[in-house]
Amino acid sequence: MKAKMKSQVNKAIFFDKDGVLNPDVDNIYDVSLDFFDYVPFILGECKKRGFHIVMVTNQPIVARGYISEDELFSKLLQFKHMIEKRGKRKIFDGIYFCPHHPQGTVKKYRKDCLCRKPGSQMLRDAAENLDIDLSHSYLVGDRVSDLVAGNAVRCKTILCKTGKHSLPMIKTNLLFDEKFTYSNYAIDNLESLLEFVR
C-alpha cells in the first residue's frame, strides 16, 4: 500500500505583536490594543496567499504581576477581533504568548523558559497544532530575539523596523549560533511585507 503524500504544504507567517503590529510604547502595565492602520489589509493579503497567520508575543506583564494570564488572553483576543473587524474577515489562525520572565515578581511565572523569545517553543507549538511546515514559513519581528527564535526553527526571518530593532538582544541564558541574529530580509514597516512573502 502506498503512503499518502501531502498535497499541500501548510505555511505560516509568525508575527511579533509590539513593534510590528502595533507601536511599541513601552507600556509595561497593560496590553496595547492599538494597531498600525495598514495591518488588517497586509495580514488579509498574506492570508489570501495561503499563509496561516499566527501571533507570537512575549508578555512579561503577567510575570510582573500587572495582569493575570486570563486577562492577558482576553485582551489579545480583543486585539485580534479588532483587526479582523477592520479587515472584514477572519485573519488569525493562532495566538501564542509567553507570560514568563526570569526576574518576574510572581513566583509561578518567574522562570527561564523555552517559550520566551529568543526561545522557539511558541513556534514549535504552533507548528504542531496547525501542522505547519516551518521551513516554508516566515517570522516577522522587530528585535534580535525574534530573529533567533525564527532562524532556530528554519523559518525565513524578516526584521521590521517599526519597533526596537536597534536595541541589543534581551538578556537570556539560551545558547544559540551567532548567525541566528541576522535576518533574511529587512523592511521599514509591514506595508513592504508583500514584496517578500511568497
User: Which residues participate in catalysis according to the annotation?
Assistant: 16, 18
For the CA atoms of the chain, what is the radius of gyration? 16
Phi, psi dihedrals of residue 141, rounded to the nearest 5°: -145, 170
Find the helix packing angle between 121-130 and 144-152, rounded to 10°: 50
CB 96 within 8 A of CB 55: yes
State the amino acid at position 154 in one-letter form: R
Q: Which residues pair with 38 in a beta bridge?
A: none
Q: CA quadruple 98, 181, 11, 75: dihedral positive or negative? A: positive
- Helices 39-48, 69-87: axis angle to 10 degrees equals 80
Query: Distance from first CA to last CA of the chain, Å, rounded?
Result: 34
Cell 490594543: give the residue. Answer: 33
Residue 168 burial by Cβ neighbours in a 10 Å radius (0-12, 13-18, 19+)? exposed
